[in-house]
Amino acid sequence: MLPIIVTAAIIRRDNCVLITKRPETSRHGGMWEFPGGKLDPNESPQEGLRRELLEELGIESAVEDIFETVYFRYPQGTVLILAYECRHRQGTIRNLEVAEHRWVPVNELDQYNLLPADAPIVAKLVRSRC
Q: Tell me how many degrees the CA angle 120-122-123 measures, rounded to the nearest 5.
A: 60
Percent of the chain predicted with pLDDT > 70: 98
User: Is pLDDT above 80 for 15?
Assistant: yes
User: Is pLDDT above 70 for 130?
Assistant: no
User: Is pLDDT above 90 for 28?
Assistant: no
Single-letter amino acid, residue 54 = L
- Its pTM stands at 0.94
The domain limits of the chain are 4-128
Over residues 79-93, the pLDDT tens digits come to: 999 999 999 999 999
Q: Please list, in sequence order, all residues whose beta carbon lies within 8 angstroms of the beta carbon of residue 60, skipping any fewer than 6 positions away.
A: 50, 53, 54, 89, 90, 91
User: Is pLDDT above 90 for 1?
Assistant: no
Q: Please list, in sequence order, all residues whose beta carbon lies within 8 angstroms of the beta carbon of residue 22, skipping any fewer than 6 positions away.
A: 28, 29, 30, 31, 32, 33, 98, 99
User: Is pLDDT above 80 for 129?
Assistant: no
Q: Are 110 and 29 in contact (CB under 8 A)?
A: no
Superfamily of domain 4-128: Nucleoside Triphosphate Pyrophosphohydrolase (3.90.79.10)
Q: How many CA atoms lie within 13 A of 30 on its CB side?
A: 1
Q: List 36's β-bridge partners, or say none.
A: 8
What's the mean pLDDT in 55-71? 98
User: Is pLDDT above 90 for 125?
Assistant: yes
Q: Are 100 and 23 in contact (CB under 8 A)?
A: no
Residue (of 54, 57, 59, 47) closest to 5 by Cα position:
47
17 falls in which pLDDT band (50, 70, 90)?
A: very high
29 falls in which pLDDT band (50, 70, 90)?
A: confident
